[in-house]
Chain A
Amino acid sequence: MKILIKNGRLIDPANGIDAPKDICIASGKILAVTEPGKLPKGFSANKTIDASGLVVAPGLVDLSARLREPGYEYKATLESEMQAAVQGGVTSLVCPPDTDPVLDEPGLVEMLKHRAKNLNQANVYPLGALTVSLKGAALTEMAELTEAGCIGFSQAAEPIVDTQVLLRAMQYAKTFGFSIWLRPQDACLGRGIAHSGPVASRLGLSGIPVIAETIALHTIFELVRQTGARVHLCRMSSAAGLELVRKAKKEGLPVTCDVGAHHIHLTDEDIGYFDANARMLPPLRSENDRNAIGKGLLDGTIDVICSDHTPVDDDEKLLPFGEATPGATGLELLLSLSLKWADEYVKPASQRLSSALARVTSDAARIAGLPGGQLSVGSAADLCLFDPKARWKVEAGALASQGKHTPFLGHEMTGRVLATIVAGHLAFDRGLK
């Protein structure tokens, strides 16, 4: 199928492009990127898309989206979440291994990849479990899992308590050049419900102090120094933690990190009157931490924005705050929340769109070692077309995901995906001509 996308504004951070361009797609790949109106000789499109007024960008690469399969089908299924992905402009996503059963067997990974492929929507790149059942005791068959399709290894939200095991896991991963994705959270100090601070004290919620993150970071960095293992830190949450990452990077340690899109914009004050939608892991912290996150994205301390998409059932959110399951829906908000970050922190204004997009396309792909996130000639035709000015309201009816819970429910967002193309086929079309 030959597709021509004309009249759009191409923003491709990987290739430094932000200009009106036409894009030609053939056989699922980018055939040409040309000046508007100048088609390659002999190219005749089966389908032409008029992207007037729209930004044409690489499809988003989301480094954390829970699909809830296998095992948690009552919370969400591949069908609904993959639909949510393409509606959010996400064409590649990484899913954590905390499914049921945990992704610690090659067979499970193959099945997941196979199912995802058949749906012909976003590309799914699973993270394998670092330890069997995520229990932090026995190593998984990392080589076999990589062969089955895992792009790295993670403990999801279950920190390893036994430092000896973590050391050995890193040594083993280093042997083969595998990357380890770790959430910096101390197992014991991280047991609370909300950020340890004036809001938690006032509301009577047990606190998760910042040292739960910094102590874990110190441990991880020492182990990285020892082993040389490549570590990607998942979901930074504090100013103090970011300062440690800054120093580690300066030192030359092979570490990178990401932040959940919600944490760029929200603080513990957003818990309000015990809104369980604001129950997240890591917790939403103070304004000082939030601001450090915003600046950290700007100065490169934080490499990537991800959605941390976590569909949670009504039954698990319509509960008192301390009993509610942490997590928020994110695939369909990733673009808007990234643009919102740029609006607040990026100067000059002309750089905003490309800065925001870099954090969720080229940078994300690079950090995770994935193809995609760019629109070079010859690369897979994964694109999203969006209206950077369109406003939409976050409502249950507007979301394709089965996860309807986010602190942004009822809020207005800016930036709406109108079409998503994956491997050269139109995976999502919001009524574009």
Chain B
Amino acid sequence: MKKNLPEPDAEALYRALLAQVNAGLVDIPDPVIVGIHSGGAWLAERLAVDLGIPEDRLGFIDVSFYRDDYAEKGLRADVKPSHIPFDVNGASILLVDDVLYTGRTTRAAINELFDYGRPARVMLAALVDRGERELPVAADFVAEYMQVKDNQSIVLHRADDGTFTLTVEHAS
């Protein structure tokens, strides 16, 4: 694991994100949270608890079937089932991802959500925004902006006790 930068304190970032989201959802009646597997899903789970959002308003999606690099890379080996227990039609959705980078994952996630129904609005919360967008996507809530090299990736980990950590790793 190459560490070019001091690793940020993921727990601190989470608390910052939570504060932003909490403030930002004040005027939104009955929001639902959807986390993108895997990092976004962990964050969404914790956010739901901390925001008092019930389990049946919390969903997870795996964007593998909507990615735009299927032709080059094929299907990933570890596709997880998506789970949306609420009606997407008319919903106000907080989409949660761990790292916002090119914007392609967000595009895939939105496409997938729209195949479930027509939401009233979709907001995006990301723990880290590393810039270098390739699509016109912006997050509504971001805890930290970080720049890393092209050959590096920012990885969120969740320990057995639920603690988050962030590492900067050599991209595979």
Q: Do chains A and B touch in the complex (CB under 8 A)?
A: no
Residues on B close to A: CB < 8 A? none
Residues on A close to B: CB < 8 A? none
